[in-house]
Amino acid sequence: MIEIKGLSFAYSGYKVLDNITTSFGPGRIYGLLGANGVGKSTMFKLLCGLLTTKQGTIEIDGSSPIGRKPGFLSKIFYVPEDFEGPDMSIGHYASGVAQFYPNYDAELFARLLSEFEIDAERKFTTLSLGQRKRAILALALALRTEYLFLDEPTNGLDIPSKAEFRKMVAAAMDEKRTIIISTHQVRDVENLLDHIMILDKRAVLLDKSVSDIQSEYLFDISANVPEDALYVEPGLGGCCFISNNTSGEESRVNIELLFNYINSKKK
């Protein structure tokens, strides 16, 4: 369980997170959404102790990331958006990193690499962005940490790799793990998410399970938009809109539309 209370952070006076309070529970894959610069990556860095909280508190299973204790860090893995990788082979790097993670599964790592068509003998410096990304994602999943933070994981992946990635994450999920995916490429991961969190600098604008969103709102596309629609966007084949779900019938959540609706309410 991750609990964040009154968290604020600023880069040399420029505030990105301002008094944020929220929590993340086990057994869920969270989609962490927010406009550029609201502090999604900063939040990840604070969660794993790469940055130090100055205001507010973070507790993960009762411990603060600030101490950076090995027992604490071994439960967490963070994949940044841009992963360069050191000048060594993937296999060599992985076996070094894996020593700190007691749940590491070497067989799983080998299988995930081969599904991603990556050779463990290759050096990171000889790989393309997408290949480096596939290598680090395979490692991240094989470390089998309780907490996994993925920052824009599908950035740089080619089309078949995106589908592979979804299958891998779905297979890796269990009731003890908490996976948080921050992304602007909502379509790439929407079937993986069962909880949506929309972050703004000063507040969590939305924090709801996908099934609650489905029972609360109706997402539809039609030439005739009902008068009581909450939010409308014109598009091909009619207007996309959100209305209150009064029929009890569920529709597929259009996350982009939901994001725009929630952000428009703020203004």
Partner 1 sequence: MEYNEHKPIYLQNVDLMQEKIMRGEWPEEERIPSVREMGASVGVNPNTIVRSYQLLESQDIIYNKRGMGYYVKDGAVARIKENVKREFIANELPRFKAKAGMLGIGKEELIDLL
Does 27 engage in binding with partner 1 (CB under 8 A)?
yes
Does 106 engage in binding with partner 1 (CB under 8 A)?
no
Going by their DSSP bridges, the two strands 2-11 and 14-24 should be labelled as antiparallel
Nearest approach, Cβ of residue 3 and partner 1 (Å): 21
- Dist CA 140 CA 109 (whole Å): 9
Does 47 engage in binding with partner 1 (CB under 8 A)?
no
Does 253 engage in binding with partner 1 (CB under 8 A)?
yes
- Which residues lie closer than 8 Å to 35 by C-beta, 6 or more apart? 200, 263
Nearest approach, Cβ of residue 210 and partner 1 (Å): 7
**Helix, coil or strand: residue 133:** helix
Quick one: CA torsion of 33, 36, 38, 44, rounded to 10 degrees?
Answer: 60
With CB under 8 A as the contact rule, the residue among 8, 95, 155, 251 that binds partner 1 is 251
- Nearer CB in complex with partner 1: 54/167: 167
Phi, psi for 166 (deg, rounded to 5): -60, -45
Nearest approach, Cβ of residue 179 and partner 1 (Å): 9
Compose the 213-242 pattern: x for residues touching partner 1 by CB under 8 A, - for all others: -x----xxx---------------------
Does 203 engage in binding with partner 1 (CB under 8 A)?
no
Nearest approach, Cβ of residue 99 and partner 1 (Å): 28
Residue 193: exposure state from Cβ atoms within 10 A (0-12, 13-18, ≥19) = buried
Rounded alpha-carbon distances, angstroms, from residue 188 to 156, 185, 192, 248: 12, 6, 9, 28
Q: Which residues bind partner 1 (CB under 8 A)?
A: 27-29, 163, 166-171, 173-174, 191-194, 210-211, 214, 219-221, 250-254
